[in-house]
Amino acid sequence: MNAFNKTIKKSAIPYLVAVFLIAVDRYLKVLSQNLETDSVSLAKNFSFTHAANSAAAFSLPINQIFLIGLIVVIITVFGWSYYRSVKAGLAEWPLVWIVLGAVSNLFDRFAYGGVLDYLAVEYFTVFNLADVMICSAVAILIFGKLKSNRANALRIKN
C-alpha cells in the first residue's frame, strides 16, 4: 500500500467516527422520545431521559428565531473555516464534528421545536451526543491553538 492510500485511510477515520456518532445521536434522540418511564439510571447521578430544549445551550433563554439565525451563521463560519483549513492542509476534522453536531441540533429545532437532549447529569444539565461532539471539538481546537502558539513562541525565542 502506498503512502497516499495510508494517508487517505488515516484521515478518513475521524470523518467516519463523526458520521457514526451523529447516527448514534439521531438514534438515541428517537429512543428517548419513546421512553416508557421518566428516565433510566445509567450510573450514579447520570441517567438517560428525554428533554426538549427550546432555549440555547445550557437552557439560556434566547429568542428562537434569533437563535436559529445565529446557528446558521455559526455553521456557515465553521463551514468556511473548514474549506480554508483543507486548502491550508490543517487538521480540519474538529470543524466537521462541530458542523455535524450543530446540524443535528438544528434539525431538532426545525422538526421538534427544540433540541432533543437525553443524557442527564444530576444537579447540572441535560445534553446529547451532538453537544459532546461540539464541545470536545472546540476544546481540541483551543488546545491545538494554544500548543501552536507555544511552539511559535519557543521558535521565536530560540
Encode pLDDT of 128-150 as tens digits. 999 999 988 888 888 877 776 66
* Rounded Cα gap, residues 36 and 115, in angstroms: 20
Encode pLDDT of 97-132 as tens digits. 888 998 899 899 889 988 999 999 998 888 999 999
Domain ranges of the chain: 3-157
Per-residue buried b or exposed e for 39-61, using 16+ beta carbons within 10 Å of the residue's own CB: eeeeeeeebbbbbebeebeeeee
Q: What percent of the residues of the chain are helix, what percent strand, and what percent coil, each to the nearest 5?
A: 70, 15, 15
Encode pLDDT of 75-100 as tens digits. 787 777 766 665 554 567 788 888 89
Looking at residue 58, its pLDDT comes to 57
> Which runs of consecutive H residues, i.e. helices, occur in 34-128?
64-88, 93-112
Residues contacting residue 82 through CB under 8 Å, at least 6 positions apart: 92, 95, 96, 99
Mean pLDDT of 39-57: 87
- Residue 100 phi/psi, 5-degree rounding, is -65, -40
